[in-house]
């Protein structure tokens, strides 16, 4: 059932992209149908996400709209990689919908506020609805202003959910998230542990050795969960391997606008993320305490 819903959402996304391309080109459904050699109802069924156009028909539409494959690459929307992207659009849309509903706001009211106070005069309720259902890609300007409207940063809006439903192979209970990081004891380096089994197979755990995180309520023997696929996020904790030692540090931006591993002390200089002496293992998404 989940796969069918995801495929349906991806098909609607493809249709919306075709519709927007046609409107941008100033073409009618009837004109597009004549060029492709189908009935105009078929163009409507593609744009509404009811049916999938063939590669040949898709190519004819793209050519008719004055685009190239690079401009509008929709051939792989329903392929595995495309469905991963669709899943991300769905997740973002659900987050946007929840923010709006939790605030008790209608789509129309949010649109009016964004039109009036956030300089988004072209935004419509139907467009916001497409964003919330994952059938359209919101641009960065909209996302930043939408985040500000709900008193969030863009990074917070785009980040994955911090709490994950995962199963630990040793039955450790989830207590919360790490809020700040510290370097582990030099005498007791952090060691990699076994990969987790369950609903988040890409996440692995690392055991903390030494007292470096006790101020944050994290003791030696506790285990942190690391997601190697999580997006980079300034101010979030990451596991960093540097010179054969693993530390837990936040990411920051230096004066040159480059991402750095924040130093443990203010007087120190952060290491640029591209430095070959360090390796980014992943973002800290949770901590397990022994109970």
Q: What is the DSSP string of 147-158?
A: HHHTT--HHHHH
d(CA 281, CA 229): 9
Average pLDDT over residues 137-150: 91
- Contact (Cβ atoms closer than 8 angstroms) between residue 213 and residue 178: yes
CB 145, CB 120: distance < 8 Å:
yes
3-class DSSP state of 225: strand
Q: What is the mean pLDDT of the chain?
A: 75
Note the pLDDT of residue 178. Answer: 33
pLDDT of residue 290: 59
pLDDT at 31: 92
User: DSSP letter at 284?
Assistant: E
Q: Yes or no: say if 195 and 201 are a contact pair by the CB < 8 Å rule.
A: yes
pLDDT value, residue 1: 40
266 burial (CB, 10 Å; 0-12 / 13-18 / 19+) is exposed
Q: Is the pLDDT of residue 217 over 50?
A: yes
Q: Is the pLDDT of residue 184 over 50?
A: no
Model confidence, pTM? 0.52
Q: Is the pLDDT of residue 227 over 70?
A: yes
Question: 164 pLDDT exceeds 50?
Answer: no
Average pLDDT over residues 162-179: 35
pLDDT-based confidence at residue 123 (cuts at 50, 70, 90): very high
Are 229 and 237 within 8 A, CB to CB? no
DSSP state of 215: G
What integer pLDDT is reported at residue 78 of this predicted model?
A: 75
pLDDT at residue 81, rounded to an integer? 75
Name, of 53-67, 107-121, 165-179, the range with top average pLDDT: 107-121
Residues 123-141, mean pLDDT to the nearest whole number:
90
What is the reported pLDDT for 174? 34
Tell me the three state secondary structure of residue 18. Answer: helix
Please state the φ and ψ torsions of residue 71, each to the nearest 5 degrees: -70, -35
Query: Residue 225's beta-bridge partner residues?
Result: 205, 286
pLDDT computed for residue 35 by the predictor: 92
Task: Return the residue matching tokens 């940063």.
Answer: 153
How far apart (Å, rounded) are the C-alpha atoms in residues 245 and 184?
9
Domains of the chain: 2-64 (1.10.260.40), 94-154 (1.10.260), 173-289 (2.10.109.10)
DSSP state of 183: B
Q: Which helix (H) or strand (E) holds 97?
A: helix 80-102
**125-134, 177-186, 247-256, 271-280 — most confident range:** 125-134
């Amino acid at each position: 059932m989940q796969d069918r819903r995801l495929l349906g959402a991806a098909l609607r996304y493809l249709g919306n992209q075709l519709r927007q391309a046609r409107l941008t080109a100033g073409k009618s459904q009837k004109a597009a149908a004549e060029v492709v050699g189908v009935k105009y109802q078929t163009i409507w069924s593609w744009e509404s996400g009811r049916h999938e156009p063939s590669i040949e028909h898709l190519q004819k539409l793209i050519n008719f709209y004055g685009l190239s494959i690079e401009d509008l690459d929709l051939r792989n929307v329903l392929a595995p990689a495309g469905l991963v992207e669709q899943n991300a659009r769905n997740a973002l849309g659900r987050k946007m919908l929840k923010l709006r509903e939790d605030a008790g706001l209608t789509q129309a009211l949010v649109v009016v506020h964004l039109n009036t106070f956030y300089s988004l005069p072209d935004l419509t309720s139907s467009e916001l609805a497409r964003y919330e259902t994952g059938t359209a890609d919101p641009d960065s300007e909209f996302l930043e202003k939408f985040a500000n409207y709900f008193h969030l940063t863009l990074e917070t809006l785009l980040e994955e959910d911090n709490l994950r439903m995962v199963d630990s192979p040793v039955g450790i209970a989830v207590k919360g998230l790490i809020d700040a990081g510290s370097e582990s004891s030099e005498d007791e380096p952090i060691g990699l542990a076994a990969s987790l089994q369950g609903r988040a197979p890409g996440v692995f755990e690392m055991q903390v050795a030494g007292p470096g995180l006790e101020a944050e309520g994290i003791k030696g023997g506790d285990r942190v969960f690391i997601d190697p696929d999580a997006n980079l996020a300034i101010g979030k904790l990451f596991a960093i391997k540097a010179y054969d030692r693993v530390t837990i540090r936040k990411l920051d931006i230096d004066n040159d606008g480059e991402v750095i591993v924040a130093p443990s002390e203010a007087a120190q200089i952060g290491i640029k993320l591209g430095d070959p002496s360090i390796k980014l293992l992943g973002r800290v998404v949770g901590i397990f305490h022994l109970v």
